[in-house]
Amino acid sequence: LYIVGNGSGSIKAHKTSSRAFADFTLIKTIEGFEMYDTSEAEELDALFQMDRAINDEAMYELLSMIDMTSCTDISYMLCQCDALVDFSFPDSFDTSNVTSFHSLFASDDLLETVDFSNLDTACTATLISSVKEAIFKSRPSGTLTSLS
């Protein structure tokens, strides 16, 4: 998937940018994503839902380009991202204003580890609880090995 601008250098995301890049089941990355200006986006829920081929490294890179300044909702953002296995959040992924993390990693069946150490500590407990609930709801056997 390629994002191409109009010469201005960026494309302003809508305040409600839910599912903007969802359901691209075969893409492995998004070229030009750095032009997608999310500084005023409040809802980024399900942003990458069902992007099944984006792996840990590519998702880390995409998330590092997101300006989370105004964002309050990232529910389902990484839901059904089947290529995530050993995931960590970039330190630039500022979750200090986020109030909704519901089902962030729901149905990510191969996910084994999630590293939260780069996130704002005020939200980490809520986020870890939400992730555990979503993962164990879809995988009662509990194959997730680490949340840190």
Least Cα distance to 38 among 122, 119, 98, 118 occurs for 98
| Cα-Cα-Cα-Cα dihedral sign, residues 111, 135, 124, 33 | positive
pLDDT score for 146: 63
pLDDT score for 105: 87
| Cα-Cα-Cα-Cα dihedral sign, residues 106, 107, 109, 110 | negative
CA distance 101 to 129: 10
pLDDT score for 74: 93
| Regions of the chain short of the pLDDT cut 70 | 5-6, 121-126, 128, 130-148
pLDDT score for 47: 97
pLDDT score for 72: 93
pLDDT score for 10: 87
Query: pTM to 2 decimals?
Result: 0.86
Helices (H), the chain: 56-64, 121-138
pLDDT score for 83: 97
Least Cα distance to 79 among 98, 102, 58 occurs for 102
pLDDT score for 122: 67
